[in-house]
Structure 1
């Protein structure tokens, strides 16, 4: 795993939306989807608001790789299941996006079960 360049991570974190496109098994990219993202302890995390049923999440599960685009940064990434920081990630979602219904949805047990760490390739 290669870590994020701090300037790139700050640019990504500063953007409210992240576009995720998973690689298909043949290497082509799926259609990008917009997801919310947070940074905790120098790592980038995403979740599926629809839990395991989210189409983009199912696509990511097939290959574990894809691309992201946010804050002027477009890069190839890997997606790894990581539940080690779920409480801190919940707090980060609330701090970044507020306490509305969308944040309550992204912090449900179904969404939390899809927490992925996003690392540059």
Structure 2
């Protein structure tokens, strides 16, 4: 099942590649972090809305994750539930503990609100 493959890719891969749509129809591929909590993938913009990939995802509600030749299209939506965001924090801590400073930036109060749920299509 395609969704299961996408979830597996996002769970096992340290730095995933997210492809987002430009207004002219092109796409840009950006390396980011992703975590999976109870089978549900999440991404977060460590730079808030200054990240171009984040602004494009918010505009379109869509992204494609790229693993070599494999592509996983997905819908992406903002998460506002504090309990879900806290669980995503814990998943980031577990998966990226060895990254120190960059991990602290991903857990900063000012970027926690840039958490998004990924739904493979």
Query: TM class, shorter-chain normalised?
Result: 0.7 to 0.9
Instruction: State TM-score, norm by structure 2.
Output: 0.84
Give the 5 Å matches for 1:14-93: 14-25=12-23, 28-70=25-67, 73-84=70-81, 85-93=84-92
Matched, 1:101 2:98: no
| Distance of aligned partners of 1:4 and 1:45 in 2 relative to their CA distance in 1, 3 Å threshold | farther
| Distance of aligned partners of 1:8 and 1:60 in 2 relative to their CA distance in 1, 3 Å threshold | closer
| Distance of aligned partners of 1:15 and 1:72 in 2 relative to their CA distance in 1, 3 Å threshold | farther
Q: How many pairs were matched up?
A: 118
| Distance of aligned partners of 1:65 and 1:29 in 2 relative to their CA distance in 1, 3 Å threshold | farther
| Distance of aligned partners of 1:57 and 1:30 in 2 relative to their CA distance in 1, 3 Å threshold | same
Instruction: Give the corresponding residue for 1:112.
Output: 112
Partner Cα distance (2:6, 2:73) in 1: 13
Deviation of 1:20 after TM superposition, in Å, equals 1.1
Structure 2 SS opposite 1:32 = strand
- Structure 2 gaps of 5+ residues are none
Deviation of 1:42 after TM superposition, in Å, equals 1.1
- Structure 1 gaps of 5+ residues are none
| Distance of aligned partners of 1:63 and 1:96 in 2 relative to their CA distance in 1, 3 Å threshold | same
